[in-house]
Amino acid sequence: MKKTLFFTSLTALFLMLSCGPNPEKSRLYLDKGIDYLFASQFDEAIGFFDKAIECDETNFEAYYYRGCAYSNNFRNDMALKDWNKAIELKPDYPNPYFNIGLIYKMHNDNSMACYYFKLAEKYGRENMTDYVKFCDYYE
């Protein structure tokens, strides 16, 4: 009887910890994903960012960094989707604006690149002088 109660309690505890929003667990997965991202192990990083998002769907950084991993894996369509989601969750987060601007610049859409570079600067991304200076030529 005691064994059954113990295993039932243990199972209930496991389910409580694994279900629903869990920002602390999400942060752990995010940090691990960032480690893999900086080690250029993009598929592994994406897996950890997926888990971070499963634990907390409002983790804007997980979407941002997963977008970076997708971009480094030449999957810009997925990267743009994630960066836009990061912006939706935290509109004043400057990094996704900058990265979206880089994608537009890479495709020679300079007016859209400048639009996003200026938003990145507006929201506080550092070292934007050269990017915004580049925009003076396209206005």
The full DSSP string for 2-44 is HHHHHHHHHHHHHHHHHSS--HHHHHHHHHHHHHHHHTT-HHH
Burial of 10 (0-12, 13-18, 19+ CB in 10 A): exposed
Amino acid letter, 129: T
Say which DSSP state 91 is in: T
Asked if residue 132 lies in contact with residue 98, where contact means CB atoms within 8 angstroms, the answer is: no
Q: Tell me, what's the pLDDT at 135? A: 87
Q: Tell me, what's the pLDDT at 18? A: 56
Of 12, 71, 5, 60, nearest in space to 37 by CA: 71
Give, for all 139 residues of the chain, the pLDDT tens digit: 555 555 555 454 454 455 468 999 999 999 999 999 999 999 999 999 999 999 999 999 999 999 999 999 999 999 999 999 999 999 999 999 999 999 999 999 999 999 999 999 999 999 999 999 888 776 6
